[in-house]
């Protein structure tokens, strides 16, 4: 399985090239609506949405398809991959838990790239520990008033709709969290962009008594954490797939460079130190890819201990990709550190996935807890 050959993978690369050809310049750190719209028009987003809601996925939401698309896009354009990943992450809670009215209202324009979505879980004091979530949802007549702060929210503050997680029952930990659909133009909702190592669209949100009607509660009251974990279990293998795509691009670049670059009168690939390093990179990358797709297929099959397998896939793939990209930089030498070089770009891009959607340390905790179940 050196490279996936399934139709979604090959089709994604072709569709991405067409969308990117239309131009995708945008202010760094802000949502690129032009690119997202092009990804929708060329049918790339629709690969990840069921036919019933305007997509082209005949088998519904599948983790494997998400992995294939994200790995393919990461090899073509990390910006396009990021746009698709955030859009689906923000959309899938509505798709999986929404009422018929909620789904018909929001999902078709999201699948077409006409509307921008975001997944709003993280807070200043609730990152790795979502049970510490503090955004308060207080009952108000036929709805709720949301007050508090969200931070490191991808697509904020530009999203048109947020899947927002808030506390509805005090002192109940993860059992007192509810999911809400919050429009981006809701009164009392303010946001500001954040500037990180890589210029992803990400920001901070402040909610000052934002009213959310009862019809915009997503799923059951106090069951929002379960929905969030279901979505994250679905997405964690695909985080691994995205960094496998980045690492594959880095490995390919290193192989080309080692074949063309000469030192001491011969190509540097003829030096065992270089050739064996590349062999090690390729082997570890293949192991990561296999673990990712195994976890995705387990999720799709409804297998036991999906959480553990998703955690293993994300952990191993992100840590491996970081090492592969770093090694590719070493093969290239100083040239790879120049701004604008592919590897300089990938070196910055590959760092964040070891943190978001659960840090590597949290993935190890998930795996360890599962190991000791029943003992």
pLDDT tens, residue by residue, 257-266: 999 999 999 9
pLDDT digits (tens, 9 = 90+) for 251-310: 999 999 999 999 999 999 999 999 999 999 999 999 999 999 999 999 999 998 899 999
All structural domains of the chain, each given as residue ranges with its CATH number in brackets, are: 7-115 (1.10.540.10), 118-221 (2.40.110.10), 225-371 (1.20.140.10)
Q: Give kind and range of the element (H or E) at residue 180.
A: strand 177-183
**How far is residue 269's CA from residue 255's CA, in Å, rounded to a whole number?**
8
> What parts of the chain have a pLDDT lower than 50?
1-2
* Residue 367 Cα to chain centre, angstroms: 20
Give the separation between CA 60 and CA 103, rounded to whole angstroms. 14
Which CA distances in Å does 260 have to 263, 267, 269, 326, 332?
10, 6, 9, 20, 11
Q: Give phi and psi for 212, each to the nearest 5.
A: -125, 115
Contact 146, 206 (CB under 8 A): no
- Please identify which of the residues 76, 79, 123, 357 carries the catalytic annotation: 357
For residue 134, indicate whether it is catalytic.
no
What are the C-alpha distances in Å from 197 to residues 15, 40, 187, 240, 250? 28, 28, 31, 20, 19
The structure's pTM equals: 0.91
Based on DSSP, count helices (H) and strands (E) in the chain, helices before strands.
10, 10
Nearest to 115 by CA among 169, 40, 180: 40
């Amino acid at each position: 399985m050196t490279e996936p050959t399934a139709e979604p993978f090959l089709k994604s690369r072709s569709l991405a090239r067409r969308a990117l050809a239309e131009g995708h310049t945008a202010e760094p750190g802000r949502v690129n609506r032009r690119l997202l719209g092009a990804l929708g028009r060329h049918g790339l987003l629709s690969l990840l949405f069921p036919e019933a809601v305007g997509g082209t996925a005949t088998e519904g939401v599948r983790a494997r398809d998400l992995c294939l698309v994200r790995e393919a896009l990461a090899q073509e354009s990390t910006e396009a991959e990021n746009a698709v990943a955030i859009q689906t992450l923000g959309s899938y809670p509505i798709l999986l838990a929404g009422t018929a009215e909620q789904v018909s209202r929001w999902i078709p324009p999201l699948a077409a790239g006409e509307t921008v979505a975001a997944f709003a879980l993280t807070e200043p004091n609730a990152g790795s520990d979502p049970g510490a979530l503090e955004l308060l949802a207080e009952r108000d007549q036929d709805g709720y008033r949301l007050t508090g702060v969200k931070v490191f929210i991808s697509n904020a503050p530009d999203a048109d709709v947020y899947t927002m997680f808030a506390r509805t029952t005090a002192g109940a930990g993860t059992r007192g969290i509810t999911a809400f659909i919050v429009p981006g133009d809701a009164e009392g909702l303010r946001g500001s962009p954040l500037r990180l190592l890589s210029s992803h669209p990400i920001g901070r949100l402040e909610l000052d008594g934002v009213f959310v009607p009862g019809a915009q509660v997503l799923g059951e009251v106090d069951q929002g954490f379960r929905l969030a974990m279901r979505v994250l279990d679905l997405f964690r293998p695909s985080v691994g797939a995205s960094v496998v795509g980045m690492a594959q691009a880095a490995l390919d670049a290193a192989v080309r460079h080692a074949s063309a670059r000469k030192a001491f009168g011969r190509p540097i690939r003829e030096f065992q130190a270089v050739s064996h390093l590349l062999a090690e990179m390729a082997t570890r990358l293949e192991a990561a890819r296999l673990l990712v797709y195994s976890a995705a297929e387990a999720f799709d099959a409804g297998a036991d201990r999906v959480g553990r397998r998703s955690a293993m896939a994300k952990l191993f793939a992100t840590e491996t990709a970081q090492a592969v990209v770093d090694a590719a930089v070493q093969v290239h030498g100083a040239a790879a550190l120049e701004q604008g070089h592919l590897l300089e770009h990938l070196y910055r891009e590959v760092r964040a996935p070891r943190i978001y959607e659960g840090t590597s340390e949290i993935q190890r905790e998930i795996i360890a807890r599962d190991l000791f179940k029943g003992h």
